[in-house]
Amino acid sequence: MKPTLRSKVQTLLHGVNAQSRLSLIVHLVLASAIIVNVVSVIFDSVAVLADHYYILFAAIEIVCTLIFTVEYLLRVWSAPDDPRFVGRWARLRYMASPMALIDLLAILPIFLWLFTSVDLRFIRIIRLLRLLKFTRYSTGLELMLMVFRQQLGIFGAASAALACMLIFSAGAIYMAEHEAQPSKFADLLDALYWSVITLATVGYGDVVPVTPFGKFLASVISLTGIGIVAVPAGILASAFNSELRRRENAYRHQVSHQLAGKRLTERVRNKLKSHQQELGLSDEQALSILDDIHDAHKAESEEILTCPHCHQPLHLAVKDAET
């Protein structure tokens, strides 16, 4: 079946295809627009530069918004050809997806600026959110978001434990230091601020306990904070490792399937390259897996299909079922 224009647009916008010059150009333009726009927002916050280069910043904003608007409309239009949103209400389900909402936020600022009286500082912050669009072009960021979604329950449990520790430590330090320092620990909110800074092992030093019991609590809370803050980091590292191993196994399976009884032709190589890019594996990882599979196939072929004495190929034929 010949691909339609809509399916071609969906494929073009879905990801970077190293074999397609048009795909490289389109994604290079989109990535460059994101970077240029974010840089212009940063320099636009400097009053001297904002006054001197007002026209330039406005032109960059208009051009980038136009690019992002065309991209958003094309993504919405081609959504029914995306396997994730195929079926009824495909476009509405795509528009409700996280990345589509980020795309919508990317084009909202100029309309808020033109048709509302919203604070310009708020609009500037929204414009900075366009940097989130860059997750489409960064395999590492995409992998990180996927890991966060997969481990959301575990992170929720770790966050609940951290919240309990914050409340308990705030209450304890408030009881220990309120009478000695009524201005520093006036209420539980002040104590909670100190607890957050201490558990995060930052310790600004602007609020410190002075009573012996308060100092003892601060020592225990600081040591506890090292362990509690390290738990999410360990979970994240383990999840990253598991996801990378899963992707390598998926690529290994694909390589074994493609090389089963076949030579490594240019067509097979392009298929494997495309699969490698979808999985976000580096060239070194892919080459290592390819070499391992090739060596395994070669050793298996030599062991099974060659004579152990003369090392000549064996040609076996079954003439009779009983034989």
Query: Is it the case that residue 266 has pLDDT exceeding 50?
Result: yes
Helical H segments across the chain, by residue range? 5-14, 21-44, 47-52, 54-77, 90-95, 98-115, 120-128, 139-150, 152-177, 188-199, 212-259, 266-279, 283-305
First to last CA, the chain: 48
Can you give the pLDDT at residue 118?
A: 62
Can you give the pLDDT at residue 298?
A: 62
Average pLDDT of the chain, as a whole number: 78
pLDDT tens track for 87-100? 788 888 888 888 88
Query: Is it the case that residue 262 has pLDDT exceeding 70?
Result: no
Tokens of 122: 């708020």
Query: Is it the case that residue 241 has pLDDT exceeding 80?
Result: yes
6, 81 Cβ separation under 8 angstroms: yes
Q: Structural domain boundaries of the chain?
A: 5-137, 153-241
Can you give the pLDDT at residue 1?
A: 60
Query: Is it the case that residue 58 has pLDDT exceeding 50?
Result: yes
pLDDT tens track for 9-51? 888 887 766 667 888 888 888 888 888 988 888 888 888 888 8
For a pLDDT cut of 70, what percent of the chain falls above it? 82
Can you give the pLDDT at residue 18?
A: 64
Q: What is the mean pLDDT of residues 151-169?
A: 83
Give CATH superfamily name and number for 5-137.
Answer: Voltage-gated potassium channels. Chain C (1.20.120.350)
Query: Is it the case that residue 78 has pLDDT exceeding 80?
Result: yes
72: exposed, middle or buried (Cβ count in 10 Å: 0-12, 13-18, 19+): middle
Q: What is the mean pLDDT of residues 182-187?
A: 88
Can you give the pLDDT at residue 161?
A: 82
β-partners of residue 306 are 313
Query: Is it the case that residue 318 has pLDDT exceeding 50?
Result: no
DSSP class of residue 207? S
Q: Is 321 helix (H, G, I), strand (E, B) or coil?
A: coil
Query: Is it the case that residue 140 has pLDDT exceeding 60?
Result: yes
103, 75 Cβ separation under 8 angstroms: yes
- Rounded CA-CA distance 83/262 in Å is 30
Query: Is it the case that residue 302 has pLDDT exceeding 60?
Result: no
Which range among 67-76, 104-113, 153-162, 303-312 has the greatest average pLDDT? 67-76
Fold observed for domain 153-241:
Helix Hairpins (1.10.287)
In degrees rounded to 5, what are phi and psi of residue 313? -60, 140
Q: How confident is the model at residue 322 (pLDDT cuts 50, 70, 90)?
A: very low
Q: How confident is the model at residue 184 (pLDDT cuts 50, 70, 90)?
A: confident
Can you give the pLDDT at residue 310?
A: 62
Query: Is it the case that residue 308 has pLDDT exceeding 60?
Result: no
Q: How confident is the model at residue 158 (pLDDT cuts 50, 70, 90)?
A: confident
Q: At what angle do helices 120-128 and 98-115 cross, to 10 degrees?
A: 150
Can you give the pLDDT at residue 303?
A: 47
β-partners of residue 313 are 306
Q: What is the mean pLDDT of residues 292-303?
A: 61
Can you give the pLDDT at residue 70?
A: 92
Q: What is the mean pLDDT of residues 106-134?
A: 71
| CA 142 from centre of chain | 3
Q: What is the mean pLDDT of residues 235-256?
A: 82
Query: Is it the case that residue 196 has pLDDT exceeding 70?
Result: yes
Q: Quick check: do 5-137 and 153-241 share a fold?
A: no
For a pLDDT cut of 90, what percent of the chain falls above it? 3
- Rounded CA-CA distance 174/66 in Å is 54
